[in-house]
Amino acid sequence: MTVNAGTGMGKPFWLALAMAMALVAVGVLQSWNVALAILNLQLISAVMALGVNIQWGYGGLFNFGIMGFTALGGLAAVLVAMPPVPEAWAAGGGGMALAAVTMAGTAAAVWALHRLIKVKALRGPAVALVFVAGLALTRWFYGPSVAAIEAVDSSVTGFLGGLGLPIILSWLAGGVLAAAVAWVIGRITLGLQSDYLAIATLGISAALVAVLRNEDWLARGVKNVTTLPRPVPYEQDLHGQAWFIDLAGRVGMEPSLLSGIVVKALYALLFGVVLLVLFWLSHRALHSPWGRMMRAIRDNRDAAEAMGKDVTRRHLQVFVLGSAVVGIAGAMLVTLNGQFTPASYAPFRYTFLIWVMVIVGGSGNNGGAVLGGFLVWFLWVQAEVGGPWLITALTSGLQEDSPLRQHLLNVAPHTRQLLMGLILLVVLRLSPRGLLPEQSSKHSPGPQQIGTEPS
């Protein structure tokens, strides 16, 4: 099917319809609960893919640190929505504040010394001295406060808690937190070119997640925060009420089943609104003078620089914006799960899979990124179910207790990694610009040039 990208809605419409049909098929064949659960994560994945698309598709930035920004969004959900723990604040709040002040002071002193001392031979030792002294001072305040905070009822709290605000505010906070951290990271790393930036951000995101895993006073680390409030009603509250039971009777469904569906549908509604707003904003941004400038920088950085565009600043801007969108998605994800589990952040799921979504969907095209998010998440989930099914079918000739069959059935869920890799390689080969390619004007480069710089 060849539909000219300029002439209409043909291909996107049919692909979206096919996706919707697939979800309906899951609803009919498996259950509506499963279909809605997939839809919710598809919506979140689509938001994440939008964020990556802003960085990679508009700006050509190779950010492999998506996992870190997702986790920061999750942290924001904890910090905004959990009730504060006054005992912990009383025990170690002051010490933590002092540690924060000394740390900021050290950073400021190092920065100032770096600026002020002109003699190169003196600068290194002076900075090192201040750094070590500041670190020692910070640790002196930090160590006892951490111990005090983590000792406060450590099986339930043992952390400072949050602000106790409605969790829906955390979506915004997640974006802001991710943007703030992205600004710092961007200032450090955006001088680097493609591969180096990818490696540096991959490492920084691993370091960020390591911090979240180990700093128990912040968000309980691997002890997890499991009792996050929800923006939607609880199932058990719903199906206890008379009007709901009445409604269930009219629809002809068990109240317990219907309540699950209603709750998931409410989540889907909230996520859908966020996705639509972000999609509209990024669509407007891409088709504005700013979007044209970003694409110009991506396609020929040197020419754009010669035209007087401040490439480094634009890169920083687009890096911060994209990370903020990913942070929003991270907060939504934790809201949906109702818990923050730092150990669950793995680069496969939260960095590379999102990249597969963007590349498969079509980098530079917002609709493509969203479609990629929907499609790839659908396949990722269904492959986990489909893998064992396929292997059962394939090995039906073998004996029931054959060791090969047992082994294959045990590892069958891992076929999805293989499947994702193959999909990525096939799409990259046959349709290198994704399923929904960037809508090109006559000035755009040829289809092969998906990179930031000519080889």
Partner 1 sequence: MKQPSHPRPSPVDSKVVGATAETNRPPRPWRPPWWMAVGVALGLVVLALVSREGGGVNLLNALVRFANFVVIPGISYGSQLALGALGVTLIYAVMRFSDFAHGDTMAFGAMGVILTTRVLQGMGISAGPLPTALLALPFGILGAITLALVFDRAVYRFYRRQRAAPVTFVIASIGALFVTNGLVRLIIGPGDQRFADGVRFIFRVQEFKEMTGLSEGLALRTTQVITLAVAVIVVLGLFLFLNRTSLGKAMRAYADNEDLALLSGINPERVALWTWIIAATLATIAGTLYGLDKSFKPFTYFQLLLPIFASAIVGGIGKPLGAIAGGFVVAFSEIAFTYPYRKILGYLGFETDSLVQLLSTDYKFAVSFIILVVVLIWRPRGIFQGRLV
191 binds partner 1 (CB under 8 A): yes
432 binds partner 1 (CB under 8 A): yes
Residue of the chain from 86, 122, 418, 444 that contacts partner 1 (CB under 8 A): 418
Residue of the chain from 86, 166, 249, 454 that contacts partner 1 (CB under 8 A): 454
292: amino acid identity, one letter: R
d(CA 218, CA 99): 14
d(CA 168, CA 137): 38
Residue of the chain from 24, 101, 107, 422 that contacts partner 1 (CB under 8 A): 422
Q: How far is the CB of 219 from partner 1 (least distance, A)?
A: 15
Residue of the chain from 239, 301, 314, 315 that contacts partner 1 (CB under 8 A): 301
Task: Read off the DSSP letter of residue 61.
Answer: -
428 binds partner 1 (CB under 8 A): yes
Token digits for 168?
């829906």
| CB 194, CB 57: distance < 8 Å | no
120 binds partner 1 (CB under 8 A): no
| CB 259, CB 239: distance < 8 Å | yes
348 binds partner 1 (CB under 8 A): yes
Residue of the chain from 28, 207, 343, 394 that contacts partner 1 (CB under 8 A): 207
Q: How far is the CB of 309 from partner 1 (least distance, A)?
A: 12
Angle, alpha carbons 336-345-176 (nearest 5°)? 65
If you write DSSP's letter for every residue of 328-395 in order, what string do you get? HHHHHHHHHHTSB-GGG--HIIIIIHHHHHHHHH-TT-HHHHHHHHHHHHHHHHHHHHHHHHHHHHHG
d(CA 230, CA 55): 31
d(CA 157, CA 88): 8
Nearer to partner 1, 410 or 444 (CB): 410
Q: How far is the CB of 224 from partner 1 (least distance, A)?
A: 16
Q: What are the phi and psi torsion angles at 345 (to 5°)?
A: -80, 110
Token digits for 304?
């754009």
Burial of 121 (0-12, 13-18, 19+ CB in 10 A): exposed
Q: What are the phi and psi torsion angles at 67 (to 5°)?
A: -55, -45
Nearer to partner 1, 194 or 226 (CB): 194
d(CA 397, CA 94): 68
| CB 433, CB 41: distance < 8 Å | no
Contact region with partner 1 (CB under 8 A), list: 191-199, 244-252, 393-401, 435-443? 191-199
| CB 382, CB 402: distance < 8 Å | no
Contact region with partner 1 (CB under 8 A), list: 33-41, 199-207, 241-249, 395-403? 199-207
193 binds partner 1 (CB under 8 A): yes
Q: How far is the CB of 343 from partner 1 (least distance, A)?
A: 11
Nearer to partner 1, 204 or 435 (CB): 204
196 binds partner 1 (CB under 8 A): yes
448 binds partner 1 (CB under 8 A): yes
Per-residue binder mask for partner 1 (CB under 8 A), 133-172, x = binder: ----------x-----------------------------
| CB 128, CB 114: distance < 8 Å | no
Task: Read off the DSSP letter of residue 453.
Answer: S
Q: How far is the CB of 388 from partner 1 (least distance, A)?
A: 12
d(CA 341, CA 228): 11
Nearer to partner 1, 35 or 67 (CB): 67
Contact region with partner 1 (CB under 8 A), list: 254-262, 280-288, 295-303, 330-338? 295-303
305 binds partner 1 (CB under 8 A): yes
Nearest to 54 by CA among 352, 371, 356, 281: 281
Per-residue binder mask for partner 1 (CB under 8 A), 37-76, x = binder: -------------------------x--------------
Residue of the chain from 105, 131, 176, 213 that contacts partner 1 (CB under 8 A): 213
Tell me which residues touch partner 1 (CB under 8 A).
62, 143, 188-189, 191-196, 198-200, 202-204, 206-207, 210-211, 213-214, 301-303, 305-306, 312-313, 347-348, 352, 355-356, 359, 407-408, 410-411, 414-422, 424-425, 428-429, 432, 448-455
